[in-house]
Structure formats: C-alpha cells, structure tokens
Structure 1
Amino acid sequence: MSDAGADREPGANAEVCADGDAGGSADDPPADPEIEDLLDELETLEETVDDPDEREQVRETMRMARRVSTPGAFGRVIRGFDRHDAAEALVGSVVVGVPMLVEGGTLEVGEFIAANPWAFGVTLVGTVGLVIGVLYVAEIQQVEIHRPLFGVVPRRLAGVLTISFATAFVMMTAWGRVSWTDPWLALCQIVVAFAPMALGGALGDILPGS
C-alpha cells in the first residue's frame, strides 16, 4: 500500500509512513481483503491524478471504502502520519509535559545529567527505546512501516520524537524554566522534560479516540 491514504486499517503488522495528503487517520479502515485491494488501486490512481478536484474525489472514495468495515477500538492498523496525527502527538506531549514543566525535580535531574554526560546519552537512548516500544512492540495498536526516512527511520517515530522535543524546547524556554546562558545545562533540562513528553506524544497519537 502506498502512503497516500493516511488512515488506520485493520490487517497488517507494521506502519505506513505517509505525508498525510489523503485520508485522515481517524477513519476506520476495512478488514475485507477485497476492499484493501481496491484501496491499493485507488492509492495508485491518486498518485497519477494531476487535477486537484479529481484527486479529492479519489480520496473521498478511499475514505468511504475505509468506513465499510469498522474495527474495534484496539488492534487497528495505523497507517500514515499526517497533520491529524501530528496534532494528536502534540496534545499528548503537552498533557504529559505541563506537570514536568512546573515540577522542580525536572531541573534537578537536568543538573545531574549536565554533570554526568553519560546520563545524557542514556536518557536519549532510553526515550527513543520507550517510544519504539509503545509504537511497535507493545501492540497497543498495529503500526505499519513503509517508506521509512533514509530507508531506516519510520516517519511516525521521527514525527513523534521531533514534535515532543520541539514542544519541550519551546515550552521550557517560553516559561522561563531554562536559561540559555548555560546552553548545555538548558539542553539537559529540556531532555529530561522531553522523555515523558515523548511517551505522551506516542500514546496520544495511537490510542483509540485520540
């Protein structure tokens, strides 16, 4: 399947990384193999259509096909990473991040990491591993991987991590929780906030009803 139809579908066990041009990951995709074949053909057609109106008609047909069968809340296959998914990840990051921003312990842990560079690497690696576990290992939902960035990095993983880190960076700076007179300390404190915010972003992206 191409990444044109960025939606959640029952069926496979990996993540399609889409640019979000078609669909919306909130739609419920079909379980019927025949409908999946139809979607394959529609996605291929969408890539060859130049006229915006015709392309929108193809996308609407795809959305309607995905609603033919409604899966349960859990166990859906999540496809694509579009603006809707990015917004979900942002909301999840903020919900988890606000308590971290007002908690003094975040700054204290950041000071410890700044004094122990090995802890910086451990925190980053642990955060990435945690997000990978939520998205691809825990099977809260089934997430498809297709056309990863540079042939290696899943777009959903990159999107969640980037949005979560950017949210931590902006909020910690805007709320005066870090001082950039010491960039290393500020970065370490932001990474401490980033860790739980990345978890919140991953859960916000894939949980049912989000």
Structure 2
Amino acid sequence: MSRRASGSEEATVDELLDQLDALEETVDTPSEQREVRRARRLADRLSTTGVLGRVITEFTRKDKAEAFVGSVVVGIPLLVEDGVLEIGAFLASRPAFLLATLALAGALVVGILYVADFREVRVTDPYFGVVPRRPVWVLGIAFATAAATMTLWGRVTWADPWVDLCSVSVVATAMAVGGSIGDLLPEEG
C-alpha cells in the first residue's frame, strides 16, 4: 500500500509505519511479532481515519451535501445562459461530441478527486469491485441537480427529450466540477 506525504504530520505517520515494518522483521518471539503487527494495524487505521493524517476513505451524507452545494454554486450561473441551450442543440446533432463531453465530465471529476492532490482520497468498497463510489455519486448528484433545476426553471420542457438531455449534460458537466471541488474542500475543526 502506498502512502503520500502531504505534510509533516502525514510524513510522521509514514515514518512510523516504516519503522513498525522494520521492527516486525527484527523481533524474535511470536508474541512480539503479534504485538508489532497489532501496533502497525492500529497506526494504519489511525492514518486512514484522519486522526493522524487527513485521508478521505468514505463518502457520507455530508459529502453528498457538499457535492450538491458545489454543483449548485457552479451551475446556477449556467442555468440563466441561453448558450447552454445552443450547446445542447449542437451536441444533439453530434452524438460523438456528446459522448466526448460526458467522458470529459468523468475525467474532470476523477482528476479533481484523485489526481489533483487537493486531499488524499482512497477508494474503498467500490461498486462491482472496480467502480469508485465517490465519482459515481458526484456525477449522479450533478446530473440530477442539473435536470431538476433546468426543469424547474423552464430551461428544458422535455418536449424534445434528446436535445433537452444534451442541454442538461452541458450544465451537469460544469456542476460535476463544482461538486467534486465542494466535496473535497477541507472542513474546519
């Protein structure tokens, strides 16, 4: 398991875990080895729960709320822009571009959550053993928020579902970026 040092506290956790690994190799009796392994498990658990290091492993209701707020903050300005509807009509006539837009949304969310290194985020309990929960939820929240607000405000009427879906996808892409940033903003306290 790899760990990244993002600050002096995180580096201290890494050093502790490395020292415990080295100690485990040098102790002689089985009881000493068990004690070292137990201490290592405890240190590893503390580092992933945020007690010793700020590592994000779960996606809670609070995270979902933060993703929603981030989506709204970024998306509201787009909801009043007619350009979104023009882009939606453009994408509706070019399905390959719509797929590229959706892929871009996914790539941006994954990039912000896992690559940009705002905070260390670990994938835990993925769907089907492979698909990380956090980006699925951030993208889903952004799309649902875009569809609901655009419908509520009359930006889409669903008279032409394909064009409206493409327009919603444009706003959802921006909202997903806001949602992923909102989810990762550090909490106080």
Q: TM-score range by the shorter chain?
A: 0.7 to 0.9
The corresponding residue for 1:156 is 134
Paired with 1:195 and 1:159, the residues of 2 have a C-alpha distance of 13
Paired with 2:44 and 2:159, the residues of 1 have a C-alpha distance of 53
Correspondence 1:128 to 2:106: yes
What CA RMSD, in Å, does the superposition of the two structures yield over aligned residues?
2.9
Quote the offset at 1:140 in angstroms.
1.3
The corresponding residue for 2:42 is 38
After superposition, the Cα gap between the structure-2 partners of 1:81 and 1:121, relative to the gap in structure 1 and judged at 3 Å, is same
Higher helix share: 2
Q: Unaligned 5+ residue runs, structure 1? A: 1-10, 14-28, 43-62
Quote the offset at 1:37 in angstroms.
3.2
The corresponding residue for 1:119 is 97
- Kept in 2: contact 1:78–1:142 (CA 8 A): yes
Q: What secondary structure, in the 3-state scheme, does the structure 1 residue paired with 2:139 have?
A: helix
Q: Unaligned 5+ residue runs, structure 2? A: 5-9, 21-38
Moved over 6 A (4+): 39-42
Paired with 1:181 and 1:159, the residues of 2 have a C-alpha distance of 28
Quote the offset at 1:79 in angstroms.
1.6
| Number of residue-to-residue matches in the alignment | 160
- Kept in 2: contact 1:12–1:142 (CA 8 A): no
- The residue type paired with residue 176 of structure 2 is A
Q: What secondary structure, in the 3-state scheme, does the structure 2 residue paired with 1:146 have?
A: coil
- Kept in 1: contact 2:70–2:175 (CA 8 A): yes
Q: Match for 1:207 among 180, 185, 188?
A: 185
Q: Which has the larger radius of gyration?
A: 2
**Structure 1 length-normalised TM:** 0.67
Quote the offset at 1:39 in angstroms.
7.7
Paired with 1:204 and 1:164, the residues of 2 have a C-alpha distance of 11
Correspondence 1:87 to 2:87: no
Q: What secondary structure, in the 3-state scheme, does the structure 2 residue paired with 1:179 have?
A: coil
- Kept in 1: contact 2:57–2:124 (CA 8 A): no
User: Structure 1, residues 96-121: CA drift from partner, whole Å, max 9, x if none?
Assistant: 01001011111110110011111110
